[in-house]
């Protein structure tokens, strides 16, 4: 993996962690690893070992594919739908408007 790839992986890890409201310390506790390891992963300083990738994807509730490539699979999309379903009706409508806006830009 190139440094750029590791940097992008780190950004996705940080994005998911923050999206769940976890601190680096909380994520490290859930994964049973050091805070330094989480910090290094998020900064793209070190590659992720396979066993840590598996634990990370479970804790963050995303696929390993998403962490490594940024590509979502069906399970990732279901998890997103589940999160949206937990929002208030007002917030769901806001999300719907945003989605419609972004889809109209793609045309």
Q: Average pLDDT over the chain, rounded to whole?
A: 90
What is the pLDDT at residue 54? 96
What is the pLDDT at residue 66? 92
- CA separation for the pair 44, 73 (Å, rounded): 23
CA angle 43, 38, 69 (to 5 degrees): 60
What is the pLDDT at residue 78? 86
pLDDT tens for each residue of 16-68: 999 889 999 999 999 999 999 999 999 999 889 999 999 999 999 899 999 99
């Amino acid at each position: 993996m190139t440094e750029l790839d590791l940097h992008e992986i780190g950004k996705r890890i940080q994005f998911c962690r923050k999206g769940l409201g976890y601190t680096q310390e909380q994520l490290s506790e859930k994964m049973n690893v050091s805070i330094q390891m989480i910090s290094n992963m998020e900064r793209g300083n070190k590659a992720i070992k396979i066993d840590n990738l598996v634990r990370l994807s479970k804790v963050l509730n995303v696929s390993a594919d998403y962490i490594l490539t940024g590509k979502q699979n069906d399970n990732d999309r279901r998890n997103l739908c589940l999160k949206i379903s937990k929002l208030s009706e007002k917030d769901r409508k806001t999300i719907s408007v945003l989605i419609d806006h972004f889809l109209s830009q793609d045309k």
